[in-house]
Chains A and B, each alone.
Chain A
C-alpha cells in the first residue's frame, strides 16, 4: 500500500495552527542549532590551538625591585641560581614577558639596512638567556643556542636600546625573512638599521603574549637580561612536579631578597584559561542553550502529538473499524509528522543560511560550512520522528470498538 499523503495533507490543512507552530519551532531550532554548532566549533578550535610551549609544566613569577638597595643584575642572577637548584626544576630563565599574559613587546626586522616599508616583518620579542629555549620547550632545528657569555646585561631607563649582535628566530620567521634557503648566518636589521646575525632557528611556538594568533609564530629570541620593570621568571619543571615547585617558590622565594617583591606565581596553563575566558563563556552558553532547545522542541512535538492522538481517538477507532491495520495508523501519524518536520526544515534551511550569511557579513565569521546544515537537518528529522513515535504507537492501540461507543 502506498503512503496516503493526500488525505494526511488535506487533514493537516484543515488544522493548520498546530502544524504551523511545530514547523516554525523546527525551523528556528534548525537555524540556531546549525549556527551555534558552527560558532562553538570555531571557538573550540581557538581554545585548543597548540601553544608550542611545554604549558603543563611551565609557570611564571613576577618580581619587582623597589628599594635603593635593589641591584637588578645580582638579584636576577641569585634568583635564577636558586630556582635552578630547586628539586623538580628542569630549567629557568628571566624573560621580558611570558606567553599568554597579554603583556609583552614586538618590533620589526628588515632584510636590508634601507628598511623599506615592504621589507618589514613584525615579530614578538622574547629576551631570554641560555636556558630560555629549553624553558619554553622549543628545540633548535638549525644553528646553535646562546652561550652564557653572550647574554647582554639588562638595559636601563637611560639606555634602553641595547642591540643584541645575535638572535635566534622561529622557523616561520626564518622562512618569511629568507624564503630561499637557510636563515642561519644571515644578517637582518633592526628598526634603526643595526645589523644582527641569526645564529639559530627553532621550531615554531604559537603563544605570543597576546591571544591573537596572527603572526604569533613570528618570534625572535634575544640574548638579554630583561629590564627591571615588569619582567618575569619563567620556570619549567619536570613532568608532574609543577605543584610542588610552585608551593616551594610561594613559601620561600620572597625571603631570599627583601628588596624586591615576588608575586603572581601562576602556571601558564592558567593564563591560557584566562586568555580564552570569553570563548569559554560563549561555548558553554551555546552548548547549554542549544541542548535545552532541542530537548524542549522534542518534548513540545511529543506533547502536541499526544494531544493530537487523544482528540482523534474516535477517528482512529472508525478507521480501524473499517479495516485499517495498526501499521497503517502508525504510518499515518509518522507521515504526518514527517510532512510537518520537512516543511519546518525547508524554512529552517533558508533561515540558517540567512543567519550564517549575516554573521559572516557583520561579525567576520567564516561562511557557514554546509556540512553543518546537513548534520542539523538529520538531527532535527530524527528528533521529530522519535518524538512522534510513542504517540503513534499509542494511537495504534485504540481498539476498533471505540467507533461504536458514544454517539
Chain B
C-alpha cells in the first residue's frame, strides 16, 4: 500500500514540478530562517552553569552618585562590580560555602626561550575553580593560603598550555608572567562558559582568560588596571597606589556560593549590616540596594540577550508562518485540481481514509524534502554568520561563536519543527479533498 501511495505521489509531483519545487523551497527557507535565529538565540540566552545557578550569587552594593543612578535607563540597578575595599571586607565573611573576588588583568608571558606574548589573566581567589566547577586536565588550583601574600603559582587554560608547552602535562614547569617567575600548578580542560556569566563586563561572549593567578598579585604588582572595567563617580586625588585601592571605584567582581535559603539570608543580613555601618560613616549615599543575584537572574539583569536577538527571532517565526500558509494554499489548490482523479478512485472503492492517507503521503514527502533542504540552508546560513563573526578572531576580541560546538538542542528542534510544521500544513488540504463527494466530479467526465 505504501509503495502504491508513493507511486501516486511521484506521479502527482511530475504533473506540476514547479509547484512542488516551490512548496519544498518555501518550507525549507522558512525552517532555515527559524533554526538559524533559534541557534543564535540559544547561544545567547543559555545558562552555562544551570545546575548550580540558584546557589551561586553575584554580590552587588549601590555605591553610586546620590544625584545620578549608575544606569539611567535602569535606575534600580546597582553597579555590577564592587570597590576593592568593599570586596576585601565582604570576602572575610565565613557565611558562604565558597566565595571569590576577582578581576580581569593582562600580562606578558614567556616560557623558556619562546616568544613573549600577551595573555588575558584573571587575578582571583582560590575558590574560583571549585565554585564554578572548572574542569582540570592536569593538576589543580591553589589553596586560600596562596591568595593574600600571593604565591607565584599559575593555572593555564588548555589552549594556553598547548601554545606554551605543546599540550603536555606542564604541572611543575616554570614560566615568566610580567617578568616574575611562576610555577604551573594546573591546566584546565575544555571550558568555555557562554555567556561568560562570572564577568560580563568585557563582552558577554568573551572567551575565558588564558591564565589564572592568585588575587594578591593585584596589590603586589602595583599595576594600574587597564583591562576589565574601572568605574568611578566620586573622584578623589590619587597620589599613591594605596589611594588607588581605597578609591570609591568599582572594578572587582564578587560571587558567593550559598547552598541553603538560610545561608542566603545570613549573607544578606551580613551585607546589610556592613552597608549600615558604612552608611553611618557617610558612604553609600544612595538608597540601600544590596543584592545577592543568582546566575539566571544575573544574566537577565545584565541584559545579555539583546533586543535585536528577540526581534530577529520574532521575524523568523513570522516568516515561517508565511511560508507555511503559502504551502497550505498550494497543497489545497493542487489537491482540488486533482479532484476528478480522486473522484474516480473513490467511485472505484477507495475509502475516505485511503484518500486522506494518499494525500498525507504526498504532504509527507514534501515535508521531508523541505526539512532536509531546510537543514542544508540552515548550515549555509550559520556558516555565513560564522564568517561575519570571524572578525572577532581577527581582532582577538570577544564574540559569540555559533559553530564552535554543534548545537543539538537547535538541531533537534529544527527537525521536529520541520516535520510538525509541514505535516500540519498538509492536514487541512488532505482532509478537505477526502470529504469531496465523488459524484460531482464523475458527472463532469
Interface residues, chain A, CB within 8 Å of chain B? 17-18, 21-22, 24-25, 28-29, 31-32, 35-36, 39, 64, 66-68, 107, 117, 157-161, 190-192, 227, 229-230, 261, 263-264, 266, 270-271, 273-274, 277-282, 284-286, 289, 292-293, 296-297, 299-300, 303-304, 306-308, 310-311, 359, 363-364, 406-407
In angstroms, Cα B108 to Cα A284, docked, is 39
Q: How far is the CB of A100 from chain B (nearest CB, A)?
A: 11
CB distance from A384 to the nearest CB of B (A): 14
Q: Mark B208-240, 1 if CB is under 8 A from A, else 0.
A: 000000000000001111110000000111111
Taking the closest CB of chain B, its distance from the CB of A268, in whole angstroms, is 11
28 A-B contacts, Cβ less than 8 Å apart?
A18-B332, A21-B325, A22-B329, A24-B325, A28-B318, A32-B319, A32-B322, A39-B311, A67-B179, A117-B65, A157-B241, A158-B240, A159-B238, A192-B235, A230-B226, A261-B108, A270-B395, A271-B395, A277-B391, A285-B36, A285-B315, A289-B29, A300-B22, A307-B337, A311-B336, A311-B337, A407-B443, A407-B444
Q: Is the CB of A261 within 8 A of B444?
A: no
Q: Is the CB of B395 within 8 A of A161?
A: no
B113 on interface, CB distance cutoff 8 Å = no
B392 interface contact, C-beta 8 A? yes
With A28-B322, A107-B235, A364-B307 as contacts: A21 and B312 at CB distance below 8 Å: no
Interface of B is mostly: helix
Q: State the CA gap A196–B385 with chains docked (Å).
A: 48
With contacts A18-B332, A296-B26 known, what are 12 further pairs, Cβ within 8 A? Answer: A18-B329, A32-B315, A66-B107, A158-B239, A158-B241, A160-B238, A229-B225, A261-B117, A277-B399, A285-B385, A289-B33, A296-B22
State which of B33, B37, B311, B333 has its C-beta within 8 Å of the C-beta of A307: B333
Question: Do A300 and B178 touch (CB < 8 A)?
Answer: no
- Asked if A296 and B116 sit within 8 Å, CB to CB, the answer is no
- With A29-B322, A282-B312, A307-B334 already in contact, the answer to whether A229 and B237 are too (CB < 8 A) is no
Structural contact, A274 and B392, CB atoms closer than 8 A: yes
Q: Which residues of B contact A28 (CB under 8 A)?
A: 318, 321-322, 325
Are A227's CB and B326's CB within 8 A? no
Please name the 3 residue pairs, one residue from A and one from B, whose CB atoms are nearest each other, closest first. A230-B226, A66-B108, A191-B235
Candidates A278, A280, A407; contact of B306 at CB < 8 Å: A278
Chain B residues near A299: list those with CB within 8 A: 22
Would B29 and A292 count as touching, CB distance under 8 A? yes
CA distance A300 to B23 in the complex (A): 8
Interface residues of B in 298-352 (CB under 8 A from A): 306-308, 310-312, 315-316, 318-319, 321-323, 325-326, 328-330, 332-334, 336-337
The residue in chain A whose Cβ has the minimal distance to the Cβ of B105 is A229
Q: Tell me if B166 counts as interface (CB < 8 A to partner A).
A: no
Q: Which residues of B contact A66 (CB under 8 A)?
A: 107-108, 116, 178-179
Contact of B237 among A161, A270, A311 (CB under 8 A): A161
| Residues in chain A near residue B235, CB distance under 8 A | 107, 190-192
Contacts of B389 in A (CB 8 A): 277, 281
Decide if A300 touches B326 in the complex (CB within 8 Å).
yes
Given the complex of chains A and B, what is the CA–CA distance between A286 and B308 in angstroms?
Answer: 11
**Interface core residue of A29, A67, A266, A307 (most chain B CB under 10 Å):** A307
CA of A192 to CA of B241, assembled, Å: 18
Tell me if B404 counts as interface (CB < 8 A to partner A): no
Residues of B within 8 A of A284 (CB): 384, 388
Complexed CA–CA distance, A18 and B325 (Å)? 10
Q: Roughly how many angstroms separate A35 CA and B26 CA in the complex, as a whole number? A: 21
Q: Which residue of chain A is the closest to B322 with respect to CB atoms?
A: A28
Question: B66-81: which residues lie under 8 A (CB-CB) from chain A?
Answer: 67-68
Q: How far is the CA of A229 from the CA of B37 in the complex (A)?
A: 39
How long is the Cα–Cα vector from A264 to B178 in the complex, in angstroms? 19
* A157 close to B222 (CB less than 8 A): yes
Q: Which of A161, A264, A273, A303 contacts B396 (CB 8 A)?
A: A264
Contacts of A64 in B (CB 8 A): 106, 108, 118
Q: For the complex, is B244 an interface residue (Cβ under 8 Å from A)?
A: yes
Q: Give the complex CA separation of A28 and B25 in angstroms.
A: 18
Residues 138-163 of B, flagged 1 when their CB comes within 8 A of A and 0 if not, give 00000000000000000000000000
Residues of B near A297 (CB, < 8 A) are 322, 326
- A227 near B445: Cβ-Cβ < 8 Å: no
| Residues on the B chain within 8 Å of A22, using CB | 329
Contact at A286–B329, with CB atoms within 8 Å? Answer: no
Contacts of A277 in B (CB 8 A): 388-389, 391-392, 399
Q: Which residues of B contact A158 (CB under 8 A)?
A: 222, 239-241
B226 touching A21, Cβ below 8 Å: no
Which B residues are CB-close (under 8 A) to A296? 22, 25-26, 29, 322-323, 326
Q: Do B394 and A286 touch (CB < 8 A)?
A: no
The answer to whether the Cβ of B282 comes within 8 Å of any Cβ in the partner chain is no
* Of listed B239, B311, B384, residue having the most chain A CB within 10 A: B311
Contact B22 A274 (CB under 8 A): no
| Closest beta carbon of chain B to A317's beta carbon, Å | 13
Measured between beta carbons, the chain A residues less than 8 angstroms from B33 are 285, 289, 292
- Whether A274 contacts B315 by the Cβ 8 Å rule is no
**B306, B326, B395: most-surrounded residue (chain A CB, <10 A):** B326
Q: B311 near A359 (CB under 8 angstroms)?
A: yes
One of B178, B306, B316, B321 near A289 (C-beta < 8 A): B316
B322: which A residues are within 8 A, CB to CB? 25, 28-29, 32, 293, 296-297
